[in-house]
């Protein structure tokens, strides 16, 4: 749906004709009366009925697909468990995203902590072993459809040579999903064209909340080549990874329909940071592709990084600082300007999704604001933090 480039009329007709297929997340796919819920406004145009249906389906879309962040480089564990502490000994991230605010769509928050175990803890085995904790919450729509999930990830990073590292990771957790049907309005609750909340909706939700396990795994290759000398700025860092999520197809239904399952999600990603020799500039192109069931998402773009201040090599008294700006494109969905500030071990990222899809009418051409705060040790400006790690 998000990828279609339709005229307003054909977009409305598409929404109405495909309503049953789009309600998989609510477990209403086989409901014979679903479309009748929108007949209480016989005088409404196709556009009005489209908008009403869209407002109900927005939380469904958020439910049937995974959460995703535009600043995906700041949310490694939602992409690939092999990224757990891949480039920092310790890292903590706080993430908040508000999408399609004008259409009462989802709001997502997440907290992530990652750490490598020191070699002295488990001797040789611990060298390269890392773990992470990721907790996120997502809420959307008048029905307050919500998912809360906590995950634990474990990764192992093997140094192949001076410049190359191979990593593997697994992640498991528990997810709770809930809905408040009282916030929804149904056809049966209209009398004489007037909504009456005292009239039963006639809808039978067997549960308003359920819990399931969720598991994923991934691989990562990293290449790193540090600067030849302090001011050369000719470093090269590249990584590429592949991951699979929702192994086992967790069941998803509020009406006791056990046939509805969460599809496996396949993720491929490439990130890089390439210094422009003898200048304070670097470029960071990246690409992300995800597929889950019938849904595809392709995001690509890059940042231009300007180093404001070089960190002192020996004393540590002078702290490094840099700013980055760029733009990303999510295929037929959004253009995303992105701004990043780095000060020693701290980073703050700010982006805004500008909607360009068929949903632009409902969202009034707006999009969503996203902000991320991150602490990472060692600093990205630390010259010892080179070779096959960012």
pLDDT beyond 50 at 8? no
What is the model's pTM? 0.78
In the prediction, which pLDDT does 233 show? 81
> What count of other Cβ atoms lies within 10 Å of the Cβ of residue 244?
15
In the prediction, which pLDDT does 154 show? 97
264 close to 245: Cβ distance less than 8 angstroms? yes
94 close to 349: Cβ distance less than 8 angstroms? no
58 close to 103: Cβ distance less than 8 angstroms? yes
Is 129 contained in some domain? Answer: yes
In the prediction, which pLDDT does 258 show? 62
pLDDT beyond 70 at 26? no
Is 79 contained in some domain? Answer: yes
Is 89 contained in some domain? Answer: yes
In the prediction, which pLDDT does 383 show? 54
Identify how many contiguous H helices and E strands the chain contains and give both numbers.
5, 16
In the prediction, which pLDDT does 355 show? 86
Helix axes 46-64, 8-17, angle to 10 degrees: 60
Is 109 contained in some domain? Answer: yes
202 confidence band (pLDDT: 50, 70, 90) = confident
Is 385 contained in some domain? Answer: no
Residue 133: CATH number of its domain? 2.40.160.40
Most confident of 130-144, 181-195, 260-274, 309-323: 260-274
| 104-118 mean pLDDT | 88
Which stretches of 199-345 are assigned E, i.e. beta strand? 209-225, 236-245, 265-275, 281-292, 295-309, 321-330, 334-343
Is 140 contained in some domain? Answer: yes
In the prediction, which pLDDT does 20 show? 36
In the prediction, which pLDDT does 317 show? 65
Per-residue pLDDT reduced to its tens digit, 283-328: 999 999 999 988 899 999 999 999 998 876 656 667 889 999 999 9
Per-residue pLDDT reduced to its tens digit, 211-260: 999 999 999 999 999 876 666 788 899 999 999 999 988 888 787 766 77
Is 384 contained in some domain? Answer: no
Is 2 contained in some domain? Answer: no
Lowest mean pLDDT among 73-82, 121-130, 210-219, 251-260: 121-130
pLDDT beyond 80 at 28? no
Q: What domain range includes position 81?
A: 8-377
In the prediction, which pLDDT does 314 show? 59
User: Domain total for the chain?
Assistant: 1
């Amino acid at each position: 749906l998000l990828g279609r480039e339709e005229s307003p009329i054909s977009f409305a007709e598409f929404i109405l004709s495909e309503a049953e297929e789009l309600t998989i997340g609510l477990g209403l796919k086989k409901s014979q009366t679903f479309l009748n819920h929108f007949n209480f406004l016989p005088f409404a145009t196709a556009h009005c009925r489209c908008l009403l249906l869209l407002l109900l389906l927005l939380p469904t879309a958020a439910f049937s697909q995974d959460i995703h962040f535009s600043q995906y480089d700041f949310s490694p564990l939602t992409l690939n468990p092999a990224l757990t502490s891949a480039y920092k000994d310790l890292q903590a991230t706080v993430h908040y995203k508000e999408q399609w605010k004008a259409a009462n769509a989802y709001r997502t928050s997440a907290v992530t902590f990652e750490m490598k175990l020191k070699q002295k803890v488990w001797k040789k085995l611990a060298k390269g072993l890392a773990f992470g904790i990721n907790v996120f919450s997502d809420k959307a729509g008048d029905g307050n459809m919500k998912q809360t999930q906590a995950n634990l990830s474990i990764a192992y990073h093997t140094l192949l040579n001076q410049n190359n590292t191979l990593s593997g990771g697994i992640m498991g957790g528990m997810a709770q999903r809930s809905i408040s049907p009282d916030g929804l309005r149904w056809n049966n609750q209209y009398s004489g064209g007037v909504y009456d909340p005292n009239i039963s909706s006639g809808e039978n939700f067997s549960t308003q909340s359920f819990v399931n396990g969720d598991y994923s795994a991934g691989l990562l290759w990293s290449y790193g080549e540090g600067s030849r000398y302090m001011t050369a700025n000719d470093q090269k860092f590249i990584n590429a990874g592949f991951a699979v999520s929702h192994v086992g197809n967790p069941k998803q239904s509020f009406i006791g329909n056990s046939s509805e399952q969460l599809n496996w999600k396949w993720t491929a990603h490439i990130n890089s940071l390439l210094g422009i020799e003898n200048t304070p500039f670097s470029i960071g192109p990246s690409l992300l592709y995800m597929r889950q069931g019938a849904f595809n998402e392709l995001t690509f773009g890059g940042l231009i990084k300007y180093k404001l201040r070089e960190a002192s090599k020996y004393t540590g008294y002078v702290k490094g600082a840099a700013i980055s700006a760029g733009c990303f494109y999510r295929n037929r969905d959004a253009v995303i300007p992105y701004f990043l500030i780095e000060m020693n071990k701290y980073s703050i990222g700010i982006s805004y999704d500008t909607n360009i899809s068929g949903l632009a009418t409902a969202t009034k051409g707006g999009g969503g604001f996203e902000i991320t705060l991150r602490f990472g040790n060692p600093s990205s400006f630390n010259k010892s933090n080179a070779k096959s790690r960012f």
